[in-house]
Structure 1
Amino acid sequence: MRVFAPLVLSLLLISRELAVCFESSPRPFDGDRTSTPIVLPLAYSSANYTSRSAEESYLRMRGLRDGVHSAHNARMPLFDDLLTNGYYTTQLYIGTPPQKFALIVDSGSTVTYVPCSTCVQCGNHQDPRFRPEHSSTYEPVKCNIDCNCDKKKMQCTYERQYAEMSSSSGLLAHEVISFGKESNLMPQHAIFGCENSESGDLFNQHADGIMGLGRGQLSMVDQLVEKGAISDSFSLCYGGMDLGGGAMVLGGILPPPGMVFAHSDPGRSPYYNIELKEIHVAGKALHLNPRIFDRKHGTVLDSGTTYAYLPQEAFSAFKDALISNLGSLKKVDGPDPNYKDICFAGAGRDPSKSFPEVDMVLGNGKKLKLVPENYLFRHSKIDGAYCLGVFQNGKDPTTLLGGIIVRNTLVTYDRQNRRIGFWKTNCSELWDRLHITKENSKDPPSSTSSTIDLAPALSPSGSKDNFLPGQIQVGIITFDMFLNLTYRALLPHLKELEVLVAHDLNITSYQVHLVEFTGQGNGTLIKWAISPAATSDFISNTTAMGIIARLTEHRFRLPETFGSYEVVQWNVEPPSRRSWWQRHLWAVGVAISALVMLVFTTLSVWYLRRHTSSLQAYRPVDAAAPEQEMQPL
């Protein structure tokens, strides 16, 4: 499996799933069950509105039988991004008391698993391993005729092997799954995998494990649907090229106006597929047989795969059509010598000005529009250079669409109606606009509705006036970092460190400001300030939360040459508390410094000229020539 440095996990959907317990065909959603959606934000573009058809109206839920009440919505942050990690994670809590884990949201996997304390071959991940002995609700899944069995423990097992040669295996158990303190959904009993062995990218990744959203009875979605906690649907919304974040919704939503749907046939393949008929580059169709996108597993969506992979013929045609529309852009080597990336320099900060739009024509004739951020990634070593995030899928004729294709796109996996919807929006800000509580919502959702109306939350917005009341807007973030590197050794590398800080926090370098730094023994204490982007007066809550999480959870990484670091303290200041002078402190400081230097230089020149003139006018009668040369200038 081809991944982009730094190493990221790209869980190819086309995997071999071995020794699966309970892997019978998933049961259809029972319409008599009450359900409400679960909203999970990913931690860390505008769209035009059109009329909505009648079939895209609210899904009305029915009451649960036997007096059982339906669950409430669960809202929780997700972290990471495609830019630096290659995946998105959510935080799930397993056991009683809860133990926290960062899990990759993966629509290509059907099991949710985390490393177990008994694991004999597991990597060093973000959180401590799960300890069954510390949970009062842990219950092994006993061996039965439907599963492979560990005969020593008499417990069901699972095993997964992926196309990029990574693998995971372990024991299955019943546990209580919680969705975080921001969630209103009651904890749910579910089956998960307690890992005893992992290899490949799974062993090396920073995330703890996988949250399986695929089709199958062990899938977290299927289990929640079976219990009536959610309707048979979920949605994902990934952030753009420069910002991570977004949101995930477990359960039905009201499709936003203009959402484009594609038919998805669960009988076509065990994965989430769509009908893809054509690809257009700059408005011109590629000369391909439409059946090329329907081979083997067809055209598959996988949230756990980073990039997109086309059959050989389709990839060659796409690459050639793209290159013919690039004008004067210069072809350059890729950032990683291990891969023959197709990269181009000279596009500047905005690739949409140099690269063409791409349309994916669906089976019903509708078009999914792709802007450059949906098929490119930034070159990590050359400013203004971009690389193609679409690759040839080896000898496999399957068309595989990973997360890059759906950046800033709300993707609704409407399993109940056998369709997948696409709608362009600003996913990085979606969670801020979804985060509605009873206190700040003028019209709370009806208790008899099984769907969430996302239209207000998904409205194209970029100004602070559109943020919901009660939201704390972040004007500036400051933090003190202690580096295990001496003041003298660090001094020549401060500019390099500033760029590294910006890159690892997923922000631009001009937002990072070194306030002060002082030597302390064998280390250095540095004070940093993070300001909003040039086009905004504030930092979005999602971005701020992602920055703080990376710092406090020690997910911020520096090269070994800088030694180890520790975040001593951090602070957040709302923009409303900052005057014009404070918000423009950096520019004001530079302007004042320049003015002082100009005045000082002018006065100095004036004084020296006058003083020199007076000295040259005075000459003692008997003064020697060398003495004149000693006069101050």
Structure 2
Amino acid sequence: MDLIHRRSNSSSTGRSNTYDQLRSSPYADVIYDTTSGGEYLMKLQIGTPPVEFEALIDTGSSVIWTQCLPCLNCYDQRNPIFDPSKSSTYQDLRCNNKADHSCVYDLVYGDQSYSIGSFATETVTIKSTSGQSYVMPETIIGCSHNSSMLGRSFSGMVGLNLGRSSLVSQMGKHMQGAISYCFSPEGTSKIHFGSNAIVSGEGTVSTTMFMKKENHVFYYLNLDRLDAVSVEETRIETLGTPFHAVDGNIIIDSGTTFTYLPASYYSLVREAVEKVVTAERVTYQDDDSLCYKTDTMDIFPVITMHFSGGADLVLGKNNTYMDYGEGAICLIIICGPAAPNFGEAIFGNIAQNNFLVGYDLSSRLVSFKPTDCGVTQDIPIDDNSISAASLFQFNIKFVLFVFVLSLIRL
């Protein structure tokens, strides 16, 4: 019999490219960008012919945007700025609330960086486990003609929250709102969508994902009411503080660097750290951060985040402290008033380093699995596919088995 790989375009399979897209699991390469202050970027392509660009992975926003020509006020980026006139699939989006039917957007982020432009539909392409590209025609993107990213050099942002224009929302229900990523301050990794984004296995802890009516696009987690944070053996309760909640009190955000806590609760965490560390206090760049004069992190206490459902996330020293050089190591859990998103508590990306983090909208869970994210990870093979090489190995083994059986009978 002729063996036809199930991803084949042969008409005898009776399956279309659409079927392949539904069964595949999209993914993209992730890059740690030191030039942009330590942020995580994913590679994807837009337009026809496709043009590659690098965009910030942001689970705290919903718009996919890139800088576009003509540029009224654009910052310097590494890749060439996207030229819509050279893409055959670019189409300006029309809105009825303006006389000229233009669809404009104006985004301002917590650090006062911004992007202003117009919405359009365009083809977005990323990699896939099927071996073929995962193509998303007529995807809504923002074409930015006026933007400032405060020293960054990436091309734009990929919003991954629950908003209708985010990448994961536009992928459709068959992806089940599943995302996973693994951040490392060195090396490259992958961000997965769909079936290969489910995080499980030994060491995995999972906690409930909450959605709030007032901020329904964010992924909220809940730090336990009795012992939200531990500093070594000291458990710090939220009861009696404004931080107390049962339906979500902290946003998990891949686009924010540090972790922020409300002032009243942060002061308790800070005091617990101060009781353990005996080194000399130093002031770093006139900042109010908790910093010490030392060249080792061994003197600092381990901090654990206790999420609802018994998900105790023991953070490494590099998740919670940073060596700023000049003999200063500082706590990078920071007081809430300086936080973006108007004072919300945020679980930032440094705290997520070296965890495989999975968002599963279908089960309303966020999962964490301790992982060396700097090690190159192989792309999982679809469980329903059988390669020709595997079949060949099976046939050889079967022939040898029959041959040995015949010798025994003789």
Identify whether the pair has TM-score above 0.5, normalized to the shorter chain.
yes
Aligned partner of 1:177: which letter? V
Equivalent position of 1:264 in the other structure:
209
Contact 1:245/1:428 (<8 A) preserved: yes
Query: Is the counterpart of residue 249 in structure 1 residue 199 in structure 2?
Result: no
Aligned partner of 1:387: which letter? C
Contact 2:238/2:244 (<8 A) preserved: no
What is the Cα deviation at residue 343 of structure 1? 1.7
Instruction: Say if 1:261 and 1:326 are closer, same or farther in 2 by CA, change over 3 A.
Output: same
Instruction: Say which SS state the counterpart of residue 317 (structure 1) adopts.
Output: helix
Instruction: Say if 1:246 and 1:354 are closer, same or farther in 2 by CA, change over 3 A.
Output: farther
Aligned partner of 1:371: which letter? G
State how 1:41-52 maps to structure 2 within 5 Å: none
Aligned partner of 1:419: which letter? L
Task: Tell me the distance in 2 between the aligned counterparts of 1:239 and 1:67.
Answer: 34
Instruction: Say which SS state the counterpart of residue 125 (structure 1) adopts.
Output: coil
Equivalent position of 1:289 in the other structure:
239
Task: Tell me the distance in 2 between the aligned counterparts of 1:435 and 1:292.
Answer: 43
Contact 1:94/1:178 (<8 A) preserved: yes
Aligned partner of 2:30: which letter? L
Task: Tell me the distance in 1 between the aligned counterparts of 2:244 and 2:84.
Answer: 44
Instruction: Say if 1:319 and 1:245 are closer, same or farther in 2 by CA, change over 3 A.
Output: farther
Aligned partner of 1:104: which letter? L
Task: Tell me the distance in 2 between the aligned counterparts of 1:120 and 1:203.
Answer: 17
* Unaligned 5+ runs, structure 1: 1-35, 37-63, 437-443, 450-633
Aligned residue among 119, 122, 136 for 1:188: 136
Displacement over 6 Å in runs of 4+? 64-67
Contact 1:74/1:184 (<8 A) preserved: no
Contact 2:176/2:361 (<8 A) preserved: no
Equivalent position of 1:389 in the other structure:
332
Q: More strand per residue: 1 or 2?
A: 2
Task: Tell me the distance in 2 between the aligned counterparts of 1:338 and 1:122.
Answer: 31
Instruction: Say which SS state the counterpart of residue 104 (structure 1) adopts.
Output: strand
Equivalent position of 1:325 in the other structure:
276
Task: Tell me the distance in 2 between the aligned counterparts of 1:179 and 1:131.
Answer: 19
The alignment of Structure 1 onto Structure 2 pairs a total of residues equal to 359
Aligned partner of 1:236: which letter? Y
Equivalent position of 1:556 in the other structure:
none
Task: Tell me the distance in 2 between the aligned counterparts of 1:332 and 1:67.
Answer: 61
Task: Tell me the distance in 2 between the aligned counterparts of 1:360 and 1:99.
Answer: 41
Equivalent position of 1:132 in the other structure:
84
Equivalent position of 2:369 in the other structure:
423
Query: Is the counterpart of residue 107 in structure 1 residue 59 in structure 2?
Result: yes
Q: Deviations over 1:588-615 (max 9, x none)?
A: xxxxxxxxxxxxxxxxxxxxxxxxxxxx
Equivalent position of 1:401 in the other structure:
347
Instruction: Say which SS state the counterpart of residue 403 (structure 1) adopts.
Output: coil
Aligned residue among 35, 47, 50 for 1:98: 50
What TM-score does the superposition give when structure 1 sets the normalisation length? 0.53
Task: Tell me the distance in 1 between the aligned counterparts of 2:194 and 2:127.
Answer: 17
Contact 1:266/1:418 (<8 A) preserved: no
Instruction: Say if 1:410 and 1:292 are closer, same or farther in 2 by CA, change over 3 A.
Output: farther
State how 1:601-616 maps to structure 2 within 5 Å: none
Aligned partner of 1:246: which letter? S
Instruction: Say if 1:92 and 1:433 are closer, same or farther in 2 by CA, change over 3 A.
Output: closer
Highest RCO, 1 vs 2 (Cα 8 Å, sep ≥ 6): 2
Q: Deviations over 1:267-307 (max 9, x none)?
A: 35321111111111012112542764356972111100000
Contact 2:26/2:194 (<8 A) preserved: no
Aligned partner of 1:366: which letter? A
Contact 1:260/1:422 (<8 A) preserved: yes
Equivalent position of 1:346 in the other structure:
294
Aligned partner of 1:390: which letter? I
Equivalent position of 2:377 in the other structure:
433
Equivalent position of 2:403 in the other structure:
none
Instruction: Say if 1:377 and 1:84 are closer, same or farther in 2 by CA, change over 3 A.
Output: farther
Instruction: Say which SS state the counterpart of residue 100 (structure 1) adopts.
Output: strand
Query: Is the counterpart of residue 213 in structure 1 residue 160 in structure 2?
Result: yes
What is the Cα deviation at residue 262 of structure 1? 1.0
Contact 1:95/1:137 (<8 A) preserved: yes
What is the Cα deviation at residue 193 of structure 1? 0.5
Task: Tell me the distance in 2 between the aligned counterparts of 1:388 and 1:172.
Answer: 40
Equivalent position of 1:121 in the other structure:
73
Q: Deviations over 1:377-422 (max 9, x none)?
A: 111333xx42111111118553211111111111111111111111
Aligned partner of 1:165: which letter? Q
Task: Tell me the distance in 1 between the aligned counterparts of 2:357 and 2:234.
Answer: 25
Task: Tell me the distance in 1 between the aligned counterparts of 2:353 and 2:17.
Answer: 42
What is the Cα deviation at residue 239 of structure 1? 1.0
Q: More helix per residue: 1 or 2?
A: 1
Task: Tell me the distance in 1 between the aligned counterparts of 2:107 and 2:61.
Answer: 9
Q: Deviations over 1:307-336 (max 9, x none)?
A: 011111111111111121123x222232xx
Instruction: Say if 1:73 and 1:288 are closer, same or farther in 2 by CA, change over 3 A.
Output: closer
What is the Cα deviation at residue 184 of structure 1? 3.1
State how 1:538-553 maps to structure 2 within 5 Å: none
Instruction: Say if 1:414 and 1:180 are closer, same or farther in 2 by CA, change over 3 A.
Output: closer
Instruction: Say if 1:244 and 1:281 are closer, same or farther in 2 by CA, change over 3 A.
Output: farther
RMSD: 2.8
Contact 2:203/2:369 (<8 A) preserved: yes
What is the Cα deviation at residue 107 of structure 1? 0.3
Equivalent position of 1:29 in the other structure:
none
* Unaligned 5+ runs, structure 2: 1-6, 8-13, 387-410
Task: Tell me the distance in 2 between the aligned counterparts of 1:196 and 1:311.
Answer: 36
- Who wins on radius of gyration, i.e. which is larger? 1
Contact 1:83/1:244 (<8 A) preserved: no
Task: Tell me the distance in 1 between the aligned counterparts of 2:303 and 2:28.
Answer: 33
